[in-house]
Amino acid sequence: MKILRQFAFILALTLLGDLIKKFFNLPLPGSVIGMLILFLLLSFKVVKVESLKEISSFLLDHLAFFFVPGGVGLMAYMGVLKDNWLAICIISLITTILVFFITGTSIQFLRKRRGN
């Protein structure tokens, strides 16, 4: 029963994010707004991490399952992917390198700042 309450809480934040998106006509998806609300609640210790531990573990354990709809959706655009595969590969490679570089630089900056 505890895991259902935790899931209902996360679902409620997602629905709240959807309502905020529609009310303020924001360009962000409601689920992202819901995640930002959850982040703020956790950051300001309004919600304790332990109170969402079980559902978080469950969702992370079954994370691969959530990629299935996206993979199936890509199959619908196979013609577009086939026509632009080289550009997609180049962009993917460049963005991967950028993410590695920016993450590494950020970590080095934070370690110097904290004196580690």
Q: Does residue 47 share a domain with residue 6? A: yes
| pLDDT in the model for residue 116 | 64
**Percent of the chain topping pLDDT 70:** 99
Q: Does residue 50 share a domain with residue 73? A: no
Q: Is the pLDDT of residue 92 over 90?
A: yes
Q: What sign does the dihedral 14-15-21-24 (CA atoms) show?
A: negative
- Domain endpoint, select from 14, 41, 61: 61
**Mean pLDDT to the nearest integer, 87-98:** 97
Q: Does residue 74 share a domain with residue 53? A: no
Indicate the pTM of the whole model.
0.68
- Domain endpoint, select from 22, 41, 61: 61
Q: Does residue 35 share a domain with residue 17? A: yes
Q: How far apart are CA 34 and CA 11, in angstroms?
A: 9
| pLDDT in the model for residue 1 | 82
> By residue range, what is the domain housing residue 57?
1-61
Counted domains in the chain? 2
Q: Does residue 75 share a domain with residue 56? A: no
Q: Does residue 46 share a domain with residue 96? A: no
Mean model confidence pLDDT for the chain: 94
